[in-house]
Structure formats: C-alpha cells, structure tokens
Amino acid sequence: MKLVYPVVLYPSGIPGGYTVLCPDMPGLVTEGRNLPEALDMAVDAASGWVLGELEEGRHEPHATNIADVKPDQPDGIVTLISLDMDAYAAKYGKKSVRKNVTIPAWLDTFGEQHGINYSEVLREGLENRYRSMQDA
C-alpha cells in the first residue's frame, strides 16, 4: 500500500536543520540536520505511525489535501511525502494476529504425525503468495 501525506517543515535551531510535522498524524514530530535528512526522517516516522495504527486494527489516517495545509509560521514549507507501507511493514512489522482455519481431518492427522507447525506453513504460504503478487 502506497500512501501520500502532506508535511510541514520549519527551520529548527540547528543551522540548515528542519523540524517536520504531519498534520494528519497527531503527535508526529521529527527533524533532520538538513532538508534531505528531515524528509527521510519524516517518511520513517510517518511510516511507523501508520504501521502502529494498522497493527492496532485501525485504518490509516485520511490525507489532507496539500492545498488545505497552511504553515503556522511564514518560513514553513509544505510538501508531500510518500510511504511504502508494504515494504515498511515487511521490515518492521511485529504484531501477529490469531486466525482459526479449517482443514480436512485426514490432513490434520498427517500434520500431527509429522510434527508440522500449521502457523508456520500458513505464514510461509501467505508470504510466498504475497511476494508473487508483488512481482506480477
């Protein structure tokens, strides 16, 4: 899932540095020593913020139209950041969810006899399916 959000950059106390706020993510504040670093930090912080929401079963926040975002200070810069949530979640996602599945009795007998970890097999299968769909 790709997401785009507006952010506002303000010059920080560090010469050349910026503080970044995302109006759609309450409490999100980050900064960088220069503009490229500040934008990288904004992408990382926003991705973590959204991942936390998703892992708690909530939806990603609605993105405000960039034209509607106005800096509070005259030297503020409004721009967009792009988040690749699939890549971020694959790298940093930690939360697991429990799912109940139904399988034929004969397959359960086979699995039990061979000490197969059902969760591992399902996870591997879903990860393989996910990767194949990303490559398509």
Shared domain check, 46 and 14? yes
pLDDT, averaged across the chain? 91
Proportion of the chain above pLDDT 70, given as a percent: 97
Shared domain check, 55 and 20? yes
Shared domain check, 74 and 8? yes
Q: Which is nearest to 10 in space by CA: 2, 1, 20?
A: 20
Q: State the Cα angle at 27 between 89 and 76, rounded to 5°.
A: 105
**Residue 1 pLDDT more than 90?**
no
Shared domain check, 129 and 68? no
Instruction: Write the CATH number for 57.
Output: 3.30.160.250
Shared domain check, 63 and 33? yes
Query: What order do you get walking across the sheet with 29-32 strand by strand?
Result: 29-32, 18-21, 2-11, 77-84
Shared domain check, 111 and 87? no
Shared domain check, 35 and 12? yes
Shared domain check, 112 and 88? no
Length of the chain, please?
Answer: 136
136 vs 88: which has the higher pLDDT: 88
Shared domain check, 61 and 39? yes
Q: Which is nearest to 32 in space by CA: 52, 9, 50?
A: 9
Shared domain check, 46 and 82? yes
What is the domain range of residue 109?
A: 105-135
Q: Write the pLDDT tens digit of every residue in 25-64.
A: 999 999 999 999 999 999 999 999 999 998 888 999 999 9
- DSSP three-state, residue 74: coil
Contact indicator for 83, 7 with CB cutoff of 8 Å? no
What average pLDDT does range 90-117 have in this prediction?
Answer: 82
- Chain CA centroid to CA 96, Å: 15
Whether residue 97 lies inside any domain: the answer is no
Shared domain check, 81 and 54? yes
- How many domains, the chain? 2
What average pLDDT does range 84-102 have in this prediction?
Answer: 80
Whether residue 22 lies inside any domain: the answer is yes
Place of tokens 């139904």: 102
